[in-house]
Structure 1
Amino acid sequence: MAEHKHGSMDITVQEETFNGFITMVTRGAIAVVIFLVFLALIN
């Protein structure tokens, strides 16, 4: 069994994926809010 050293794994790809996910969720939430405000103004 290999020795595991805490904090030695390269996680740059996971960090980039997480940052991309957070960015898309934020943009999606903003788009939904803008769409709902637009619908409220039209009605």
Structure 2
Amino acid sequence: MADHSEVAYTTADGNDYIAHEQTYEGFLALTKYGTLSVIAILVLMAIFLL
């Protein structure tokens, strides 16, 4: 049988971990501000539409 050793992602060729971290931080910021925006819209709808 073939030997299936684990891939070392930190040493793989073409691995751009810095770009990965920046993308993930951007995703977290977008999620946070998106959630806060939806909450603000719902609160304003509850105030002005009742």
* Same fold by TM-score greater than 0.5: yes
- Where does residue 28 of structure 1 map in the other structure? 34
2:29 partner amino acid: T
Identity rate, percent: 25
Which digits, 9 at most, give the CA deviation of each residue in 1:1-43, with x for residues without a partner?
Answer: xxx6564455100000000000000000000000000000012
Unaligned runs of 5+ in 1: none
- Where does residue 19 of structure 2 map in the other structure? 13
RMSD of aligned Cα (Å): 1.6
State the TM-score, normalizing by the size of structure 1.
0.77
Structure 1 segments of 4+ aligned residues over 6 angstroms from their partners: none
Decide which moves more: 8-17 or 25-34.
Answer: 8-17
The structure with the larger Rg is 2
The structure richer in helix per residue is 1
Unaligned runs of 5+ in 2: 1-6
